[in-house]
Structure 1
């Protein structure tokens, strides 16, 4: 059972995956919101049944799986539909993330939440003990999207602008990792944070 839960976030192409891989290599359990978002809408899950009630059986594929593409098109065309979907899925995602982190082995666990700032930061996730932001200048995010994903300039710009600003993410941070250079420099920073979090978890232990 972990005694400390760290929320990890960052903008698109900021280096969240680079960071989580390093924490996982140190034996830290990472609960990924993107993975959980798929799990909570699997066949048989209450959230999927609620989606069908809200949007109709047409959002299901023949095999009973959620037709993500069709639903995505609907919610981007209709802000009210998007809000309705988020009202169903977000509580389920948050509950699953918290449960996974609290049940995780080791002194602390990480909840990787890409849109943590957009979800209200600690107000949206009050069970987080600290928030770690991986930060990169927007010019570097843009260059990584173009180089790594083959994204064109305009789409890369829209992807960055669609998220919370860099300043908004930094405003909710307790800890910041600057990822504006070679990824190898992350090793020492993660090692230091790991040591800090173990010490915090020991101080945080009930009783």
Structure 2
């Protein structure tokens, strides 16, 4: 158990720390009433007092909550610890990420598996597009895998798009936030203020 984040959040029981990014950490929790695991994403304490980062964190939860798709991570609840750290409860990906899958497959993936992953990710992007949301940071690490399928082939992985921390709705893009993302995966228009940004930025090959 960790001393840096509550061992209990209501009925949720902390299991372990999953990982951390630039602005947030993710923890694995267990829900004994539903007998299931969930992931809890918490804003890093050093960023809690930063109003822009705090706002972006809450926006991520709201954007995820607004999208109804098996191929986008679901948000179930949102809250704040007794020390003022905001967090949200979301789907747990028991299969890691596509980045993990690639790292464990030095010989490469079967072409049919690649096609299936891309197809599922495209379904998730279509759901985001339907809500007017541009992800802006699609990459293998943000494509999570779970063994809980949605009516597909038995044993197949389900792909879920995650990490909407830099996502924006089409009506909220501005010159300050337009160039946030992972440089090696960013579309050229995210770096050129003279070019418009739309959903094509999320499908750049």
Higher relative contact order (CA 8 A, sep 6+): 1
Alignment TM-score, normalising by the size of structure 1: 0.28
Alignment TM-score, normalising by the size of structure 2: 0.29
Structure 1 or 2, whichever has the larger Rg, is: 1
Bigger share in strand: 2
